[in-house]
């Protein structure tokens, strides 16, 4: 996921505008992994501007779908609808 999604120029630019991104290694940070019930890697956790956890998505997310999830966050759509409804509306989840 790092090489294919997070390290691409367009995702890095969007993350720079959207907020903060950080990686957690469950082996070296077991408390964080435990507090978030991380069962596998990668797991994507998105927070609002106050640090409140909005969504936790286990597994690989392709670049196109990751951009859609970022749009959900930056557009504050989480205040109006669940992520699954936003993904359906945007046509995400089709291998992107």
Kindly list the structural domains of the chain, giving each domain's residue range(s) and its CATH number in brackets, ordered by start.
Answer: 2-90 (3.40.30.10)
Give residue 93's pLDDT.
59
Whether 80 has a pLDDT exceeding 90, the answer reads yes
Q: Is 20's pLDDT higher than 80?
A: no
Tell me how crowded residue 90 is: count the other CB atoms within 10 A of its CB: 16
pLDDT tens digits, one per residue of 51-63: 888 888 888 888 8
What b/e sequence results for 25-56 when a residue is b if at least 16 CB atoms lie within 10 Å of its CB, and e otherwise? ebeeeeeebeeeebeeebbbebeeeeeeeeee
33 pLDDT above the threshold of 80: yes
Look at residue 8 and tell me whether its pLDDT is greater than 70.
Answer: yes
pTM attached to this predicted model: 0.73
Structure-token pair, residue 23: 């990686």
């Amino acid at each position: 996921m790092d090489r294919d999604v997070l390290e691409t120029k367009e995702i890095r630019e969007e993350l720079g505008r959207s907020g903060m991104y950080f990686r957690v290694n469950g082996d070296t940070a077991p408390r964080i992994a435990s507090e978030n019930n991380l069962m596998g890697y990668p797991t994507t956790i998105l927070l609002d501007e106050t640090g409140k956890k909005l969504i936790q998505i286990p597994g690989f997310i392709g670049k196109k779908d990751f951009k859609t999830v970022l749009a959900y966050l930056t557009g504050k759509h989480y205040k109006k609808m669940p992520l699954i409804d936003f993904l359906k509306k945007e046509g995400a989840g089709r291998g992107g």
